[in-house]
Structure formats: structure tokens, C-alpha cells
Amino acid sequence: MGDEGGPGDYLPALNEKAAPNLRYASDRGSDSALSFPSKKLIRSLRAAAAGLSVLLLTSSAYAINSATSVFSRDATPASGSYSLQLFVYAITIGIFLVVGGLGTYAVIKFRAKPGDDKSEPVQIFGSNQIELSWTIIPILIVVVLFLTSARMIFAVQDAKQPVNSVKVTAIGHQFWWEFQYPDYGFTTANELHVPVSDPKTPTPTFLKLSSADVIHSFWVPRLAGKTDMIPARVNEMWIDPYKPGMYLGQCNQYCGTEHAKMLLRVYVQPRAEFDAWARNQQKAAADVAEARAGRDVFESQSCINCHAVKGTIANGRFGPDLTHLMSRDTIAAGAAQNTPDNLRRWIENPEVFKSGSNMPAMNLSPEQLTQVTAYLSTLK
């Protein structure tokens, strides 16, 4: 898992920034509490607020180490977003403390006190200077925020594609992912493999994203923000993971019943490992004599209408390519681990893992099931 050492380092910086400000706000609160009856209420409120912030801070600390955290420096796009986030959070927290502090002060200081006479306070109707000042200051803040964001937008979105980049076409399906490697001439599903990219000699992966049916969205938080996959339209994004490891993600645009089970994995491998993996993927399917019976079942059933197995008559495109099914750790877009037992249960009735999936139960006999599973298990 590519999460050790990285973003955690940045947490203290965040804390140092926020902590003194917090103390500042509560100091002001205590000055102005004055001699006013429900001190106890204020104290318990402050305790509650402190408790809440501690809880929030600890959970954010815990957030940073999550496998799908957006606080990540594992690839350039994610890291760019991360530093921009820190900047934006700092500004918004600052605004919140100042405006919230003024508000708190007003609410506490100017409450009607029991001993007050019945007269109305002095009526003030407004002041153009003041209005002007709190129009101009926010405009300035907005300009600063905009300029920093614009820089990042152009840097990430308009990045040049280096010649040695890996190209992948990713196509969303209800509810699985198809990955085509046009330069290598093979297709796989659900688990994307990409080479690690050394920041000194980057070998990023450029993805062309589209969809075969409805809108999906490709999101691996530790590597990059998301990009939608829209039918009849091609979007692009890129990643350049710095470290090998397995990165989790999932479909991020509601796409139907099983949107929740459209999970995604990215395996970042050292170049040599990646090349070896790619060479294996390019091969036709293994043809093992012992699995002949299963293959016959597979080819005589309608499996071949939806699935492709390179080197056989199966060339369906509606479901995932099964040529190297065994090279994947999961089946059905992460709905289950890829074990022979799970495979058998899946083919018997996909509903046990994914009740809305587009693969029908094929009503195979137990014997056929065993044979097909045995055959699929040879597709290394």
C-alpha cells in the first residue's frame, strides 16, 4: 500500500497553523463573558466545542492514512490538489475564525441583560464606508484564491503528454471497468496496471475515458482527482504515481443499481514488473488439456456472447475480457476475491455478490459449474 511516510508528514504543519488561531478565538471569548448569568452554559458550550474540535482533528489525522484519502502526495495531480487544499483550508478557516469570532462577540456582548431598562438601543441604519470595506476585502481574497487555483487548473489539465507515456483507454460499463492498452494490443478489466513514474524521468500514464452505457467516473483519490466517463465523448486524465503499490478507488458517478460495487484498483509496478505483466496479457489464453470439458461448456453456453477469451471463439464485449482472469485479485469489479470458490458461486448466481449486475444466472448444472470454474482457473 503506498501510504507510508508520505502525506502524514504534512499533518503537523496543518496543526501548527490551526492551533494558535483556535486559542486566540477562545481567549477573546473569555474576556467578553463578563458577569453574565449563564456562565455555566458558556463553559459547557466551550467544552463541547473543544471536544468536537478534538474529535474532528483526531479523525482528520486518521483520515490522512486512509487508503482512499484525498490528502495524498503519491502522484502529481493528487499532490497538486493537496497543496492547494491546504492553502484553501487555511484561508477559509481564517475567515471562519475572524467572522465567527466577531459574531460570537456580538452575540455575547450585546445580549439583553436582566437589569436593562426598557428603552431601545441606539438605532444605526448603516454606513457606506463599512459596507465598502467588507465588499473590497472579500474581493481581494477571491482574487488571490482564484489566481492560485487557475495556476493549478492549467498545470494539471493542460500538461503535455510525454512521448514515453503509457496510454490506456478506460471504458466504463454498468458496473465494471474495461481497460484497453492500444500500444500493447490487449484488453483487461477492473484492475489497472501502470508503471511507476520516477519524477526525474516521468513515465506518466495518460487515460482516455469514455463509457459504453451511462455516465461513470474514474476516481483513485491517492493518485488524482476524478474524471467522468461520458458516453459518446472522450475525456482525458493522467497519473504519474511515484511509488509502487496498490491504490484503491471506485466509480464516483451514480450509474445505476450497483454503483456502490463498481470498485477499482490500480497496481503501480516498477517498470520491469509492469512490462512482464503486459507481455503476459498480450498472450492468447492458455489452452490446458485437462480443462477442455470446461472450455466446451463455456463455448457452448452464451458466455461467449458477452465475454472474450483471446484465442478462442469467445469474443463478446458486453462483459469483462476473461483471457487472463486469473491475473486479477478480484472478480466483478471488486465485489469478491478471486478464489475458485467465489468464481463458482458467481457463475452459479451473480446475485450473491452483486444483486444488480448485468450478468444473468446461467443455470448451469453443478457438474458444468465445476468444469467451467476449472477452465476459468487455467486462464492465468
For ligand HEA, the binding residues (CB under 6 A) are: 95, 99, 138, 141-142
Q: Which of 37, 51, 311, 360 binds ligand HEC (CB under 6 A)?
A: 360
State the nearest-atom distance from the C-beta of 176 to ligand CUA, in Å: 9
Q: Is 318 in the site for ligand HEC (CB under 6 A)?
A: yes
- 345 HSE (CA, 13 A, CB side): 15
Residues 251-270 vs ligand HEC: string with x where CB under 6 A? -------x------------
Residue 260 to residues 247, 251, 255: CA-CA distances in angstroms? 17, 8, 9
Q: Which of 81, 165, 323, 357 binds ligand HEC (CB under 6 A)?
A: 357
Site for other proteins in 328-357 (CB under 8 A): 334, 355-356
Nearer to ligand HEA, 52 or 95 (CB): 95
Q: Is 262 in the site for ligand CUA (CB under 6 A)?
A: yes
State the nearest-atom distance from the C-beta of 57 to ligand CUA, in Å: 32
Three-state SS at 245: strand
Q: Which segment (39-47, 131-139, 218-226, 253-261) binds ligand CUA by CB under 6 A?
A: 253-261
Phi/psi of residue 68, each to 5°? -125, 30
Nearer to ligand CUA, 251 or 364 (CB): 251
Alpha helices (H) in 4-75, listed in sequence order: 11-32, 39-64
Q: How many degrees, rounded to 5, is the angle at CA 159 between CA 155 and CA 163? A: 155
177 binds, among ligand HEC, other proteins, ligand CUA, none (CB under 5 to 8 A by kind): none
Please state whether the peptide bond connecting residue 71 to the residue before it is cis, i.e. omega within 30 degrees of 0.
Answer: no
Q: Is 369 in the site for ligand HEC (CB under 6 A)?
A: no
Q: Which segment (35-43, 70-78, 134-142, 341-349) binds ligand HEC by CB under 6 A?
A: 341-349
* Listed residue (46, 49, 68) closest to 57, CA to CA: 49
State the nearest-atom distance from the C-beta of 35 to ligand HEA, in Å: 31
Whether residue 240 contacts residue 253, with contact meaning beta carbons closer than 8 Å, is answered with: no
Q: How far apart are the C-alpha atoms of 322 and 316, rounded to whole Å?
A: 10
Q: Which segment (39-47, 126-134, 213-221, 296-304) binds ligand HEC by CB under 6 A?
A: 296-304
Whether residue 36 contacts residue 111, with contact meaning beta carbons closer than 8 Å, is answered with: yes
Q: Is 324 in the site for ligand HEC (CB under 6 A)?
A: no
Q: How far apart are the C-alpha atoms of 269 and 276, rounded to whole Å?
A: 10
Provide the grid cell at 125: 441604519
Site for other proteins in 196-225 (CB under 8 A): 209, 213-215, 217, 219, 221, 224-225
State the nearest-atom distance from the C-beta of 297 to ligand HEC, in Å: 7
Q: How far apart are the C-alpha atoms of 285 and 377, rounded to whole Å?
A: 11
State the nearest-atom distance from the C-beta of 142 to ligand HEA, in Å: 5
Q: Is 364 in the site for ligand CUA (CB under 6 A)?
A: no
The total of other beta-carbon atoms located within 10 Å of residue 176's CB is 27
Distance linking the first and last C-alpha atoms of the chain: 24
Residue 228 to residues 53, 353, 374: CA-CA distances in angstroms? 35, 26, 37
Tell me the sheet residues that pair with 236. Answer: 208
Whether residue 235 contacts residue 210, with contact meaning beta carbons closer than 8 Å, is answered with: yes
Nearer to ligand HEA, 97 or 286 (CB): 97
Whether residue 129 contacts residue 135, with contact meaning beta carbons closer than 8 Å, is answered with: no
360 binds, among ligand HEC, ligand HEA, ligand CUA, none (CB under 5 to 8 A by kind): ligand HEC
142 binds, among ligand CUA, ligand HEA, ligand HEC, none (CB under 5 to 8 A by kind): ligand HEA
Phi/psi of residue 328, each to 5°? -105, 150
Q: Which of 175, 238, 247, 274 binds ligand HEC (CB under 6 A)?
A: 175
Q: Which residues bind ligand HEC (CB under 6 A)?
A: 175-176, 189-190, 258, 298, 301-303, 305-307, 318-320, 322, 325, 328, 331-333, 343, 346-347, 354, 357-360, 362, 364, 372, 376
